A = this chain, B = another copy of it.
């Protein structure tokens, strides 16, 4: 079955229908770099914290340990979120979208998710012809990363 047909069979699925997770992971249309975007959302408040990327190894580790692990595109290595800062993301729920090419992670984020020391990464708000910082730094990043 082609990846496309695999996701299409789920499109008409009624609530409770399921497929093997192993088969689903094999049918993810990874991008040219072998990655899939993952949105992290705080599970109880609904705040969208960040978007990062996973390869298959990061995805499987995340499910296995219930701690979120991404693939760092800049460092080209596994990025165990919070490993150096302590600001971990505990995985509460993982979802795939209708064509299997995006992940939604419901997480419990300890402290700031953003490397700037803000709770989330989306602090740049479009306002008219300006882009305005509208979220405060909660923790000095120097204290998070010991720079």
Contacts and interface: CB of A to CB of B under 8 A. Distances in A.
A127 B39 contact: no
Interface string A44-71: 0111101100000000000100000000
Contacts of A115: 98
Interface string A21-61: 11010000000000001010100011110110000000000
Interface of A: 10-22, 24, 37, 39, 41, 45-48, 50-51, 63, 93-100, 102, 104, 114-116, 118, 121-137
Given A39-B48, A93-B126, 15 more contacts: A10-B131, A10-B133, A14-B133, A14-B136, A18-B133, A19-B131, A20-B129, A37-B37, A48-B48, A51-B102, A96-B124, A97-B124, A98-B114, A98-B115, A102-B121
